[in-house]
Amino acid sequence: MTITEEKPRSAQEPASPGRVGAGVFSSRQLLVSLPEALRKLDPRHQLHNPVMFVVWVGSALTTVYAVLDPSVFTILVAIWLWFTVVFANLAEAVAEGRGKAQAESLRRTKKETVARRLTASGTEEQVPGVELRIGDLVVVEAGETIPGDGDVVEGIATVDESAITGESAPVIRESGGDRSAVTGGTTVLSDRIVVKVTTKPGETFVDRMIALVEGASRQKTPNEIALTILLSTLTIIFLLAVVALQPMAGYSGSGQSVIVLTALLVCLIPTTIGALLSAIGIAGMDRLVQRNVLATSGRAVEAAGDVSTLLLDKTGTITFGNRKATELIPVGGTGSEQLTEAARLSSLADGTPEGRSIVELTGPATEDPGGEFVPFTAQTRMSGIDLGSRQVRKGAASAVRDWVRGYGGEFPDETERVVDEISQQGGTPLVVAEQTGGRAFVRGVIRLSDVVKPGMRERFGELRTMGIKTVMITGDNPLTAKAIAEDAGVDDYLAEAKPEDKMALIHKEQEGGRLVAMTGDGTNDAPALAASDVGVAMNTGTMAAKEAGNMVDLDSDPTKLIEVVEIGKQLLITRGALTTFSIANDLAKYFAILPAMFVTIFPQLAGLNILHLHSPQSAILSAVIFNALIIVVLIPLALRGVRYKPSSASALLRRNLLIYGVGGVVTPFLGIWLVDLVVRFIPGIG
């Protein structure tokens, strides 16, 4: 069994199948969601979407006319108006269905457990997990399921969290520190821990996930509400325009039927974006869940798309976290081979990540050197080996200096210069020394570098292109922080950062009208997470951090924050692109229907019939059919999202206008013309 501190999921690695991954869109999802789409025909549901409610009323009205005065044209218009409403419901039902499938897989992870609760006297009593209350202490041993969310207050254990995160490798949870939080439904694999319950039954982390991914607690975001108001306003304007059109048509001697006027209204109002708006919002939450990020609200996802400042911890986010040996620098006339051998021997007993990296750099010993290993300790700050009368040591410059001088040796000025130079460049120097025949001397210096993760400079460059400022947060001294910041390519850094410094930086950025995002996992990060517009808490972190943030990363991968911002931007871009397409779409349908309505009294309008549609009735029916079918065609795009490429706001606007603006004008002309080629052969459509 391999035990890991944490194994972040790759950005490209998909979520676990059947758990929280929504999977690829398929036509089968349309069929499965059709019954739910039909149930949504309830007018009480349609009232939540003003645009589609108008279409619903128009469908009901044309149905009445189709019954009272039936004709092929009237019946077909009524049928396709109902299809328009059903297809709009279908978009929402497919999006919700994906979330409900995820919720069902999460429900299967919930287990009714019997908890071993500690009493005030220290004895154990067995109670059902549903009876646990906040503050209760429960004992969990190897093979047992953790009965509820909480913090480890005693002991250390390996925990299988695969049911929640999808990650097969167990992780370590221990009392104290920032890796004390445990989730109900996960399993302890070894040892014994005492957990303090922090949530009520029914309000656990898994319960919250279920409610969120199935959409039960989804609320419209501010931008979504604003767009709904805009669409409602446009609908009212077009409704008044169509109502006012009838008196003018009657005065001209060409009064229009209710069927034609209703068809005109439905084709002119923004039905496309009105039908897809809810699905776009649900799909945005869904894409986060696919990447194992739980957002507590759609507002958080939307805010991520508007973020203009990213606060990123250095360790584990920008750098690997464990410093690595990158260079050996001989001093005092020592040869490189001598230094390599001494560095390797001095590190064989050093079990720290730094010690292991030195062995990797110098190459493993070809044979057992024998002798007595001297392990690294926090007190001595050195490690090494004793080979009879020969002693080899490696450690911090001050510790090795004292050791060398203790044997009457000298610590050369050259060594001091190299040590200072490495420190100023953001590295960590380790000095290697030997003692032979009662006298010690320095062999050289090992450079330890806090290695920046590959590709970070490029990713920060992309964020800069998007107008996002990146700030590295670190506890390092300013010199080290500056060197790493330059190497990583971040815009700014905050060195020797304390919790109050993070808060001050967040407030300073927000005063300038910028939205701020950050990650954190400790209790000391909670105030900053709460103050940030987007606060991504690590699942491994404390319960205080998870409660303070508005997102939780189940993989506990700090670099996920960059992906979260990209998903938020994709949500906003998708909504904007489809809104542009919808409005351009309506403009094109205008030129298909209006000339057909009045060509009999104004023959000059025939010049606007650029598609050469067969007849007024076929033109109107073709527009209505296209209006319904385009919703189905765009459902996969609404769920998948418009492809996102890091670029400036002006470049995104040009791209949207070119692809979805021009495309929204051209597509209806082509679509209506193709539909008309079929419709003209229907008997009764003159």
Please, which residues have CB within 8 angstroms of residue 117's CB and are 6 or more apart in sequence? 124, 125, 126, 127, 132, 136, 137, 138
Q: Give strand pairing partners of 448.
A: 325, 428
Residue 378 annotated as part of some ligand binding site: yes
The total number of residues shown for the chain amounts to: 686
Residue 258: name the closest of 269, 242, 270 by CA.
242
Tokens of 111: 């287990």
Residue 354 annotated as part of some ligand binding site: yes
Active-site pick, 313, 450, 555, 586: 313
CA gap 184, 202 in Å, rounded = 11
Residue 521 annotated as part of some ligand binding site: yes
Phi, psi of 433 (to 5 degrees): -140, 160
Residue 283, SS3 per DSSP:
helix
At position 335, the amino acid (one-letter code) is G
Residue 382 annotated as part of some ligand binding site: yes
Residue 379 annotated as part of some ligand binding site: yes
Tokens of 598: 């009045």
Tokens of 414: 């050259």
CA gap 673, 628 in Å, rounded = 15
Residue 681 annotated as part of some ligand binding site: no
Burial 226-243 (b: 16+ CB within 10 A, else e): ebbeebbebbeebeeebe
Residue 357 annotated as part of some ligand binding site: no
Residue 381 annotated as part of some ligand binding site: yes
Question: Which sign does the torsion angle of CA 218, 224, 226, 227 carry?
Answer: negative
Note if 586 is an active site residue: no
Tokens of 658: 């070119």
What is the Cα gyration radius of the chain?
Answer: 33
Angle at 500 between CA 428 and CA 181, to 5 degrees: 80
What distance lies between CA 550 and its chain's CA centroid?
12
Give the per-residue SS3 of 365-430: CCCCCCCEEECCCCCCCEEEEEECCEEEEEECHHHHHHHHHHCCCCCCHHHHHHHHHHHHCCCEEE
CA gap 495, 661 in Å, rounded = 47
Q: Kindly give the interhelix angle for 662-679 and 616-640, rounded to the nearest 10 degrees.
A: 130
Residue 267: name the closest of 230, 247, 228, 241 by CA.
241
Residue 4 annotated as part of some ligand binding site: no
Binding residues, as ranges, are: 350, 354, 376-383, 394, 521, 525
Binding residues for Mg(2+), as ranges, are: 521, 525
Binding residues for ATP, as ranges, are: 350, 354, 376-383, 394
Residues taking part in catalysis: 313
